[in-house]
Amino acid sequence: MFKNQEEQIEGALESGVGTDGIDRRGFLKCMAWAGTGLVWTFAGGVPTSRAFGEAAHGKRQSDFTFVQISDSHIGFNKPANTDVTATLQKALAKIDEASQSPDFLIHTGDLTHSSKGSEFDTLDQLLKARRQVFYVPGEHDTSVDDGKMYLERYGKGTKGNGWYSFDHKGVHFVGLNNVVQLEGMGKLGPAQIEWLKDDLHGVKSSTPVVVFAHIPLWAVYPDWGWGTADSEQAFAMMKRFGSVTVLNGHIHQVMQKVEGNVTFHTAMSTAFPQPAPGAAPSPGPMKVAAERLESVLGITDVNFMAQKRELAVVDATLSGIEAEKREVSL
């Protein structure tokens, strides 16, 4: 990480609550986007973490694993990254190198940069040889035509503007769209919230739930639109579940927060980084030295162990840099 970025982040952490009202300690000191790699394991409701690449205690095989990729921004070609296709290919190669092959991939939006057919074509060519991929749109996928082209390609079998759910080996997955009704922040809208209520009605409280959407479903930094205005209505329906994991993209950096039974997690981009909240006048593509680019891009690997009711989340940069070790108790 660049020294000036590190000083900005450390200063914010030391000050606790800043002048903008954001509780920096509430981010679990995970504001840094560079070189982040943590394994989160949930056992008995208590999350613990270990650095990516560090051996876990004991040898345990997960029942299944899936990988989250986000914000590939195919079509972007500016100084922050002049070849986003190459960095996405590098991310996919990293997935192929994993010791346990993932059951599927989840892409949490901004597949493209400008919603062009050629950009979607390039993404399809890169991912077509993969096992199943589940998508949700980002605002860059819907900005030109309200998401019509996105839905034609990836929305078959979904509801409304592209929301849906599925079950996999004892885990209930819910894909949401919070980018169509943008009003400064993300928004789900009444129709999607009503659908979510019906969807969760038949799910047992003991079932682990994974929710994924593009814009964070928690208030990361409202001044930059990094949050979802009506997310509290959605999470009110999830209080009865023992374990809810929320995976988002949009902000191009890793942040984590535990709130009751819900663990929130945002992922790195495969295209370019963005500033830490409040560390710049506004959000947007951030140029870093070429040799550091791969340390601020990455993927998220999630493993589920049904017998122990554990879910482990691993963030891996394209350069493979490890993060420090942390533990948090609810």
CA–CA gap between residue 326 and residue 12 (Å, rounded): 18
Antiparallel, parallel or unpaired: β 104-107 and 133-135: parallel
CATH superfamily for 3-317 is Metallo-dependent phosphatases (3.60.21.10)
Contact assessment for residue 10 and residue 286, using Cβ atoms and an 8 Å cutoff? no
117-127 vs 84-96: helix axis angle to the nearest 10? Answer: 20
Residue ranges of the domains in the chain?
3-317
Radius of gyration of the chain (CA): 18
Can you tell me whether residue 151 is helix, strand or coil? helix
Q: Where does residue 21 rank: exposed (0-12), middle (13-18), buried (19+ CB within 10 A)?
A: exposed
Instruction: Supply the pLDDT for residue 203.
Output: 96
316 beta partners: 299
Instruction: Supply the pLDDT for residue 329.
Output: 27
> Would you write out the chain's pLDDT as a tens digit for each of its 330 residues?
333 333 333 343 333 333 333 333 333 333 333 222 333 333 333 333 333 334 444 444 457 778 888 999 999 999 999 999 999 998 888 878 777 778 888 999 999 999 999 999 999 999 987 778 999 999 999 988 999 999 999 999 999 999 999 998 888 999 999 998 888 899 999 999 999 999 999 999 999 899 999 999 999 999 999 999 999 999 999 999 998 989 999 999 888 888 888 989 898 899 999 999 999 999 999 998 888 887 777 766 666 655 455 555 656 566 665 433 333 222
CA–CA gap between residue 7 and residue 67 (Å, rounded): 32
CA–CA gap between residue 220 and residue 149 (Å, rounded): 29
- Put the strands of the sheet holding 244-248 in their side by side order: 164-168, 171-175, 209-212, 244-248, 262-266, 255-259
Instruction: Supply the pLDDT for residue 314.
Output: 59
Residues 6+ apart with CB under 8 A from 88: 69, 72, 74, 123, 126, 270, 271
Instruction: Supply the pLDDT for residue 320.
Output: 60
